[in-house]
Structure 1
Amino acid sequence: MLKSVELRNFKSFHNKVKIDFEKTNYKTLLNTNVSGNLLKGALFVGKNASGKSNVLKAIRFLLECLLAKNEVNWVEYICLFSDTPVMELKYVFEIDKSEIIYDISYQWVDVFLREKLTVDGIELLSREGSTANTILTEVKNYTDIPKQLLFLRDIFFNTRFRGQVKLQKWFEFLFNSVYMDMCLKSATQYKGVDLSLRSYMEESGTKLINDFFEQYHFEQRIEYNKKATGNIVTLESPENQIYFRRNGINEPIPYEMESLGNQTLVQLLPAFFYCISNSGMLLLDEFSSGFHNSLEELLVRYFMKNAGESQFIFVSHSTNLLSNSLLRPDQIYSVDFDKGGSVVKRFSSEKPREAQNIEKMYLGGVFNGIPRYER
């Protein structure tokens, strides 16, 4: 699981920022929202254009660079208003009670890349520009590494970390992770699993989604067939189509005619169920797109209750999610932007009591990250 992320000169984060996923001393929600000493996710709130999505992009950056891309367009990620030409990222994971630390530093003026990988304090890889030392391969010293290629990625795809069980489990956790932009309704999964709704229907059918709807008393069910028959209309297609059935109305409703919120929900659920069942991270941007407050709260509770060693890291503007009955104060960060760049504040840093209304405290400005629109 992800233990912490540190950023400096990454997109809107100019100054060094650390985002921590270790639990603090709060006793609330220990049985659902915590796995060992780590939190099963975090919520980022704040005004528009404060940098909330860039937190998710920093985590996605690791997934893209290690699992998806041969070379990185570093210019996409640098802080454009920084006078220091070095971007720094530090990722700390806990896998089977071992601590894995991966440091990346990129100097864009001279195109100079550094990498360092340690497991439980033992250095496994050290890279400086085009040279590297590692104990992960038969060759220990390298002198001709491409300038913008992460060497750890190259080692993995050439060796699959033979004999390195902890690193294999770490990469399995990364491969199981999903990034989803709720505005674009597109999911990126790094193991090659197609989590689009139609592919999910072909592979898994409707049972898990409909069981979820039935368990929580939704007013609809879904079907996936070539033919859907009602009292008045019968709809047919050469290929299977998705239809909704509302309680008390015996007519099929084509997916395209259903509400935006219900469309968004069923597009999310394949990724949602996948990350709960397979240890990894669900990175969800604009979680509040088209959902009623109660539905958002249900999804957060469901994930925290049912996930084992998975994490739900998400961005939302819905302040109703700021509740001690839903998320712990150490699971919530506000993101603000000043002339120096994006900054984060962990709600637990203000030591709110478990009985306090943290939504009201946030709206009152205690945790920052509040827009001030004045006439």
Structure 2
Amino acid sequence: MLKKFIVSNYKNFKDEISLDFSKIGEYSFNADSLSIRLIYGRNATGKTNFGRALLNIKSLLCGMQSSGLINEDGAAKFKYEFKFGSDEVTYKYSRFANTELCDEELYINGEAIFKCDFKNSKFDFQGLSIISAETVNTNRYLNKDEMDNEYVLPFLRWLINNTAFSDDSVLIRLSKYVRKMCMITVGNDLFYSYRNFLENLKNQVHLQNFEDFLNLMGIECKLVLQELPDGQVELYFSQSKLVPFYSTASSGTLALTSLYQKIVSNCSLIYIDDFAAFYHYEMAEKLISFFKTKYPKCQLIMTSHNTNLMTNKIMRPDCLFILSSRGTLTALCDATERELREGHNLEKMYIRGEFEKYE
């Protein structure tokens, strides 16, 4: 799981900003909220940018296109701290642009595995023996054909793809975790490619689970999947007649569907930008409760303007954060001199300006 993420000089975050899952307060209530972080911030504070920065590692290790441009004024710096079982993994790098890697370092349990300084062509692979990869042919990686001037292949990505690690290797676990990280941006993610999802719903159990999910969210419906003459399948609401699902569903239902598709793909971490933008606050609460119950191992980060969710009823002060226009991220328990307790009405405190200093 991700323990801590730090980024600096990325878009509007010139100074270092971090999110630490391991920093928790001494609260005895809502312990099932510890894998969830809810971030509040006014418009243009960088909530979307923070999510894109967090997912930058996926573009690096999985060869996916990076979202958004990185600052041209110096390199953007990224640092990720993970924990897999008893192993602590630290991976850090800096990039001058979306495809230009400046440096890269990997540490496991505090020991350096490798260090790459691409700009000065300095490489240290002496720690590869720690992960039983001392026989890997690093000269092949450093070959001119591998290291051209237009694109620098991340060594960690190359190492994972060119070494026969066991399935329980910490690097394989890291790779699987990163591949299962995802970001959902409400508005841009409503009309996703849904054909694979419909194919999955051919299984009656999966179709029933999706129907149960929508009903649990307050959308009373009966779903039917039918095969068309061209062999494709289509989803319908079953009413007095069949009504096409995707052309008639509300934007809120489509947002729920998009979210559900991500959920059932067994994600390791989901960053939901502008969470609850299409949801009534009661449905948003139900969604959070659904995550807690069904997916306790999935780390969930949400951004929102919905202050109804700023409550100890479903969350807790060390899991609620304020993102400021200055690029700081502060937990509510650290944004006041009071000792916040379960009985405090966090929403009222927020509205009357208790945490205004950190906005």
- For the criterion TM > 0.5, the same-fold answer is yes
CA distance in 2, matches of 1:344, 1:65: 25
**1:56/1:314 contact within 8 Å kept:** no
The correspondence for 2:271, drawn from 257, 280, 283, is 283
- Using the TM superposition, give the Cα deviation of residue 288 of structure 1 relative to its aligned residue in structure 2, in angstroms: 2.1
Q: Which residue of structure 1 aligns with residue 237 of structure 2?
A: 244
Q: Which residue of structure 2 aligns with residue 197 of structure 1?
A: 194
**1:362/1:370 contact within 8 Å kept:** no
Q: Which residue of structure 2 aligns with residue 154 of structure 1?
A: 158
**1:183/1:289 contact within 8 Å kept:** no
CA distance in 2, matches of 1:259, 1:163: 43
CA distance in 2, matches of 1:304, 1:319: 19
- Determine if the alignment matches structure 1 residue 76 to structure 2 residue 69: yes
Q: Which residue of structure 2 aligns with residue 360 of structure 1?
A: 348
- Using the TM superposition, give the Cα deviation of residue 61 of structure 1 relative to its aligned residue in structure 2, in angstroms: 0.5
**Percent sequence identity over matched residues?**
23
Query: CA offsets per residue over residues 309-354 of structure 1, 9 Å max, x none?
Result: 211112222111111122222212211214xxx2222212134222
- Using the TM superposition, give the Cα deviation of residue 104 of structure 1 relative to its aligned residue in structure 2, in angstroms: 0.9
- Determine if the alignment matches structure 1 residue 175 to structure 2 residue 176: no
Amino acid aligned to 1:77: I
- Using the TM superposition, give the Cα deviation of residue 140 of structure 1 relative to its aligned residue in structure 2, in angstroms: 7.1
The correspondence of residues 1-375 of structure 1 with structure 2, limited to 5 A, is 1-22=1-22, 23-30=24-31, 32-33=32-33, 39-69=34-64, 76-78=69-71, 85-106=74-95, 113-129=102-118, 130-134=121-125, 135=128, 136-139=133-136, 143=142, 145-146=147-148, 148-159=152-163, 161-162=165-166, 165-185=169-189, 196-205=193-202, 206-215=207-216, 218-226=219-227, 239-245=232-238, 249-255=239-245, 256-275=247-266, 280-338=268-326, 342-349=327-334, 350=336, 351-368=339-356
CA distance in 1, matches of 2:216, 2:115: 51
User: Residues 128 and 290 (structure 1 numbering): CA distance in 2 closer, same or farther, change over 3 Å?
Assistant: same
- Using the TM superposition, give the Cα deviation of residue 267 of structure 1 relative to its aligned residue in structure 2, in angstroms: 2.4
TM-score by length of 2: 0.83
CA distance in 2, matches of 1:125, 1:27: 41
- Using the TM superposition, give the Cα deviation of residue 183 of structure 1 relative to its aligned residue in structure 2, in angstroms: 0.9
- Using the TM superposition, give the Cα deviation of residue 215 of structure 1 relative to its aligned residue in structure 2, in angstroms: 4.9
User: Residues 86 and 74 (structure 1 numbering): CA distance in 2 closer, same or farther, change over 3 Å?
Assistant: farther
Amino acid aligned to 2:79: K
User: Residues 226 and 358 (structure 1 numbering): CA distance in 2 closer, same or farther, change over 3 Å?
Assistant: same
User: Residues 226 and 106 (structure 1 numbering): CA distance in 2 closer, same or farther, change over 3 Å?
Assistant: closer
- Using the TM superposition, give the Cα deviation of residue 305 of structure 1 relative to its aligned residue in structure 2, in angstroms: 2.1
CA distance in 2, matches of 1:240, 1:115: 46
SS of the residue aligned with 1:225?
strand
Amino acid aligned to 1:99: E
Q: Number of matched residues?
A: 333
- Using the TM superposition, give the Cα deviation of residue 289 of structure 1 relative to its aligned residue in structure 2, in angstroms: 3.1
- Using the TM superposition, give the Cα deviation of residue 304 of structure 1 relative to its aligned residue in structure 2, in angstroms: 1.6
SS of the residue aligned with 1:91?
strand
**1:297/1:326 contact within 8 Å kept:** yes
User: Residues 204 and 251 (structure 1 numbering): CA distance in 2 closer, same or farther, change over 3 Å?
Assistant: closer
- Using the TM superposition, give the Cα deviation of residue 112 of structure 1 relative to its aligned residue in structure 2, in angstroms: 6.7
Over the aligned positions, Cα root-mean-square deviation in angstroms equals: 2.9
SS of the residue aligned with 1:124?
strand
User: Residues 319 and 15 (structure 1 numbering): CA distance in 2 closer, same or farther, change over 3 Å?
Assistant: same
SS of the residue aligned with 1:366?
coil
Amino acid aligned to 1:271: K
Question: Higher strand proportion, which one?
Answer: 1
CA distance in 1, matches of 2:136, 2:210: 49
CA distance in 2, matches of 1:5, 1:186: 28
**2:308/2:347 contact within 8 Å kept:** yes
- Using the TM superposition, give the Cα deviation of residue 119 of structure 1 relative to its aligned residue in structure 2, in angstroms: 1.1
**1:180/1:186 contact within 8 Å kept:** no
Amino acid aligned to 1:250: S
Amino acid aligned to 1:2: L
Q: Which runs of 5+ in 2 are unaligned?
A: none
User: Residues 261 and 186 (structure 1 numbering): CA distance in 2 closer, same or farther, change over 3 Å?
Assistant: closer
Amino acid aligned to 1:55: F
CA distance in 1, matches of 2:157, 2:231: 43
TM-score by length of 1: 0.79
CA distance in 2, matches of 1:369, 1:50: 14
SS of the residue aligned with 1:63?
helix
Amino acid aligned to 1:176: K
SS of the residue aligned with 1:13?
coil
Query: CA offsets per residue over residues 17-52 of structure 1, 9 Å max, x none?
Result: 12111132222211x22xxxxx31211111111011
